[in-house]
Amino acid sequence: MTVAAPKAPSRRISLSLNHDHSCAPLSYLEMGRADGPVLVFLHGLGADCLAWHYCLPAFISKYRVLALDLPGHGKSGQDVGDGDVAFMTGWLDEALALLKVPSAHVVGHSMGAKLALGLAHRHPERVQSLTLIAPAGLGGPFHYETMDAYLAAPSLKTAHDLSRFLVTERHAQMVPALAQALFESVSDAGRRAAFIKLLETAKTFGVELSPQWRDWSRLRCPLQFIWGDQDRLTPLHEVAYLPADAVVHVLPDTGHLPHVEAAAGVVSHLKAFWEG
């Protein structure tokens, strides 16, 4: 009897819109194995799901990989509610339900990391592990000035200034492409208004997470931090207040965008965290 060869896993890549979300559309990038463990990637303020493109291909052979456009970003709906963690985690919980993701390994960058931590607190059953990359609210003093200038008077110059602020001199070659992407992200008035709302909400209530969000004992999942040692937007001023059992990686000569500036290192740390 001839035994059929095992079917190769699907590695399809699709950029899709789901119109069933209450804040439709929900835009997301999906690739990898439909039957694999799920990875969910959440970008930062002003970015979109494609911000992860240097990292995602490394995981398609084993995982179902999802990168979401958060509210007000990319091709997702522009409603950001009050712009607070409660609204954003509710949006994310509904999105995961629609995408049939009961639980996942969640990776968040900056604002997306703050949202990922909020999800782990409010819906712990959805989070198998948590990786926070340059997380907003957990670093040193947040620097608004360059971000404010970029949103107040969008131009290639202000986008260029912000790009130079986000990455180190070593990665200056990335600045032109990053500046162009940032400028295009605010070319739509609705998206720009959403970014301003999210940033103003952070200012009003304080970008730093309240003590309840720093109560690490409430987390039920393994926790990893990845930070650039030269992050000027959300600088890591000390690691002593981070939980003792968390995995912490500080990447050398790296700014606020480790997943772009040091993608190979980020991929290596993610694989070790999930598979080790």
Tens-digit pLDDT profile for the chain (276 aa)?
A: 444 454 555 557 788 999 999 999 999 999 999 999 999 999 999 999 999 999 999 999 999 999 999 999 999 999 999 988 889 999 999 999 999 999 999 999 999 999 999 999 999 999 999 999 999 878 777 777 888 889 998 999 999 999 999 999 999 999 999 999 999 999 899 999 999 999 888 766 544 555 455 678 888 899 999 999 999 998 887 676 788 889 999 999 999 999 999 999 999 999 999 997
- Do 173 and 249 form a contact (C-beta atoms < 8 A)? no
H or E segment and range at residue 86 = helix 85-98
Q: Which amino acid belongs to residue 216? A: W
Helix or strand run (H / E) with residue 265: helix 263-275
Q: In what order do the strands lie in the sheet with 26-32?
A: 13-18, 26-32, 64-68, 38-42, 104-109, 127-133, 223-228, 247-251
Residue 1 burial (10 A CB sphere; 0-12, 13-18, 19+): exposed
pTM more than 0.85: yes
- Helices of type H across 127-256: 145-152, 156-166, 175-185, 189-205
Task: Tell me which architecture the domain covering 13-142+206-275 has in CATH.
Answer: 3-Layer(aba) Sandwich (3.40)
